[in-house]
Amino acid sequence: MKHCFIISAFCLFSLLGYGQRFEPYNSFEIGAGVTLNETVGDAETNGHTVSPHININYNPHLYTVITGEYQVGKLKGGDSLLTQSGRQFSNNFNAFFVKGQLQAGHLFGQSDVVLAQLASDFYIGSGIGIIFNNIKQVSRYSHHFQDYYTGGPDKSQNLLIPLRVGYDFKVLNFYKEVLFRVDAAYQHNLMLGDGMDGFEAGSSKDILSQFSLSIKVGLSGKRRTN
């Protein structure tokens, strides 16, 4: 019952906000939020952590965003006792991204149809990033096989390619201006290296999957849609 109420309230809020055309928006925005991380690497079990992020956004168009983002936190995975390899790690990481996103509003434009306006905020994006890995805790020996050892660096840097899909919900004020944005997204990061978990094993590169939620507020540079 509670979930139905939340969903109904969200839909009503969306219809009220998007039932009108909106014009002015900010060229620059600053945002912050949280990210749920899942690591897929050489450890036999995936790990899950939560970390913060901040970003600066440039909006050359209402439906185009260029983002610079900084992430910091911990990644982990594996189980030294329950897995055959004994691999387990904890990575205190820092990461920087430059990403671009194109929203479906480029297809629908400033439509008066409510459903088209709602669909306009779905987006896809990609870019480039770099992650600085700092392995603080690691298990390299197996408890099941004598002398079984997995090597790898404790500190490394890896380039990565983010593949992103999401929804950029625009909250409007009384004057139909974009007051702030709520960005919910899934990001699949393809590592161009094998240092995220500190292990060098197998031929597959590490993968970092992320679900993120950000709130972005305008800084300056008011623009109007064409």
- The answer, yes or no, to whether residue 1 has pLDDT greater than 70, is no
Domains of the chain (ranges; CATH) run 25-223 (2.40.160.20)
Neighbours of 127 (CB within 10 A): 19
> How far apart are the C-alpha atoms of 117 and 88, rounded to whole Å?
46
Mind listing the pLDDT tens digit for each residue in 177-220? Answer: 788 899 999 999 999 988 999 898 877 889 999 999 999 998 86
The pLDDT of residue 224 = 58
* Contact (CB, 8 A) for 17 and 208: no
Report pTM.
0.82
Name the average pLDDT for the chain: 84
